[in-house]
């Protein structure tokens, strides 16, 4: 036996002993849950700043480099498509190696993609831009999947609240990002780079810091501890069939996934074309930053209240609330005068709030339906579908606006969101 093999066995033995200590102690589990939330929160602050760059100036950068509005939705489609692949990879890596390795890898990949976008803008290289946007999507996917880390050791009655805690602090970075557009733009110009590459410089630093925080501090891994707890429960319940512990509730996964897919596609489609719509009607990039900043705040800041509501009133009711709120957002965006900052802000705030309702209620439904033995892998696959829905919404939004108008896009999105109600009614179990 080699010295390296002996070292690995010793390391694994110490790791298993450490995890076992948490399995045996409910108090240590609660302490680890609190510590996990604090670390995830720290990473989410930086992750939020990273994702905001693509939302705010991605479409404008494509418009500038391509010279047309027709394909302005392509950047959103690309980094959302990249996030779909990353969601699958991060989910599978988390299932095998734990949240720490999976999430850190995703954030670091997102940072590398942001660096590539900056280089593509400097050298006006479209192939590099498209490739880098795909890789940049890894940060977006990871920022979304980090919300699951907060639920691994949470009690069933506190899962939505744990999701909301992980999400709400994304607000700080996500709101700061769009409002630093001018600052980063001036900085990038001062070093000889295009102004629109500035926010992606911020994204590169933010994503890399988020990855390093998780890599260094998310120990012991909450997902590995949750798996060990589930395995112990399986052995303790010898009088019951094993599938009582490991069964997957497919109906719950279908409901949760459907809610998140519809809310994501509607939100991404309208959000993507809002900056283009605003610049066509005389608004400057600082106005765009304000509207998108408030939109992103509405996506994440209400999370603490939403989590409590989802736990108290149920996943289904809040899914209905999501559909109605998104409908109101679509109607307001469609009929608001293009020069009215107040109404545009209100429309995009409602759009973010409806997405928030749908994401937290849908996420909680998926977590409820999956045991730890398959949870991370299943969550990754669900997030793939969510990302693909967002990619479709982003890609189609520019074409719809080119052929019709921003108002038509908003109306389509608003009425599409109403499908949430009949779908949830149809799929949920009969009494």
For the chain, the average pLDDT equals 84
For residue 7, the model assigns a pLDDT of 40
pLDDT at 128 over 50: yes
Contacts 24+ apart (CB under 8 A), 235-242: none
Taking residues 120-145, report their average pLDDT. 90
b (16+ CB within 10 A) / e for 274-295: bbbbbbeeebebebbbbbbbbb
Model pLDDT for residues 47-75, shown as the tens digit of each residue: 888 877 666 677 788 778 877 666 766 77
For residue 201, the model assigns a pLDDT of 94
pLDDT band for 325, please (50, 70, 90 cuts): very high
For residue 91, the model assigns a pLDDT of 92
Do 292 and 348 touch, CB atoms closer than 8 A? yes
- Most confident option among 23-37, 157-171, 207-221: 207-221
Domain 12-427 has CATH 3.30.70.1450: no
pLDDT at 371 over 60: yes
More confident call, 389 vs 109: 109
Domain limits of the chain?
Answer: 12-427
pLDDT at 162 over 90: no
More confident call, 307 vs 289: 307
pLDDT band for 356, please (50, 70, 90 cuts): very high
Burial of residue 160, with CB atoms counted within 10 A of its CB: 0-12 exposed, 13-18 middle, 19 or more buried: buried
Model pLDDT for residues 232-266, shown as the tens digit of each residue: 877 776 555 544 445 667 888 988 999 999 999 99
Q: 3-state SS of 262-279?
A: HHHHHHHHHHHHHHHHHH
* 106 vs 104: CA distance, rounded Å: 5
277: phi then psi, degrees, rounded to nearest 5: -60, -40
* 258 vs 420: CA distance, rounded Å: 8
Q: What percent of the chain has pLDDT over 70?
A: 89
Taking residues 280-297, report their average pLDDT. 84
pLDDT band for 410, please (50, 70, 90 cuts): very high
Model pLDDT for residues 374-390, shown as the tens digit of each residue: 888 898 999 888 888 87
What does each C-alpha distance from 387 to 112, 138, 262, 336, 362 come to in angstroms? 20, 11, 11, 29, 14
């Amino acid at each position: 036996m080699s010295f390296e093999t002996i070292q690995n066995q010793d390391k694994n033995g110490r790791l298993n002993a450490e995890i076992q200590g948490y399995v045996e102690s409910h108090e240590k589990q609660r302490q680890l849950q609190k510590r996990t939330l604090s670390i995830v929160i720290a990473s989410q602050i930086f992750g939020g700043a990273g994702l905001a760059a693509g939302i705010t100036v991605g479409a404008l950068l494509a418009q500038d480099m391509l010279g047309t509005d027709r394909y302005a939705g392509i950047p959103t489609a690309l980094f959302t498509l990249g996030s779909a692949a990353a969601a699958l990879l991060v989910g599978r890596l988390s299932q095998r190696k734990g949240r720490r390795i999976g999430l850190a890898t995703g954030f670091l990949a997102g940072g590398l993609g942001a660096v590539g976008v900056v280089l593509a803008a400097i050298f006006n290289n479209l192939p590099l831009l498209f490739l880098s946007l795909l890789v940049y999507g890894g940060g977006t996917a990871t920022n979304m999947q980090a919300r699951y880390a907060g639920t691994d050791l949470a009690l069933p009655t506190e899962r939505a609240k744990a999701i909301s805690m992980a999400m709400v602090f994304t607000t700080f970075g996500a709101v700061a990002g769009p409002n630093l557009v001018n600052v980063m733009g001036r900085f990038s110009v001062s070093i000889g780079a295009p102004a629109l590459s500035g926010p992606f410089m911020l994204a590169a630093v933010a994503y890399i810091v988020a990855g390093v925080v998780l890599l260094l501090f998310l120990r012991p891994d909450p997902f590995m501890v949750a798996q060990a707890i589930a395995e112990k429960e399986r052995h303790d319940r010898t009088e019951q069939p094993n599938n009582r512990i490991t069964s997957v509730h497919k109906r719950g996964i279908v409901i949760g996934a459907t809610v998140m897919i519809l809310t994501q596609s509607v939100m991404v489609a309208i959000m993507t074309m809002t900056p283009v719509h605003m610049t066509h009607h005389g608004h400057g990039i600082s106005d765009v930053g304000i509207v998108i900043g408030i939109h992103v705040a509405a996506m994440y800041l209400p999370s603490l209240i939403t989590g409590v509501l989802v736990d108290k009133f149920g996943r289904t009711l809040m899914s209905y609330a999501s559909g109605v709120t998104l409908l109101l957002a679509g109607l307001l965006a469609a009929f608001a005068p293009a020069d009215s900052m107040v109404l545009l802000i209100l429309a995009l705030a409602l759009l973010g709030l409806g997405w928030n309702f749908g994401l937290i209620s849908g996420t909680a439904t998926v977590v409820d339906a999956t045991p730890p033995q398959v949870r991370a892998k299943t969550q990754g696959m669900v997030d793939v579908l969510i990302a693909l829905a967002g990619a479709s919404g982003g890609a189609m939004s520019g074409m719809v606006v080119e052929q019709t108008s921003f108002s038509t896009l908003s109306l389509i999105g608003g009425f599409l969101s109403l499908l949430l109600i009949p779908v949830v009614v149809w799929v949920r179990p009969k009494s």
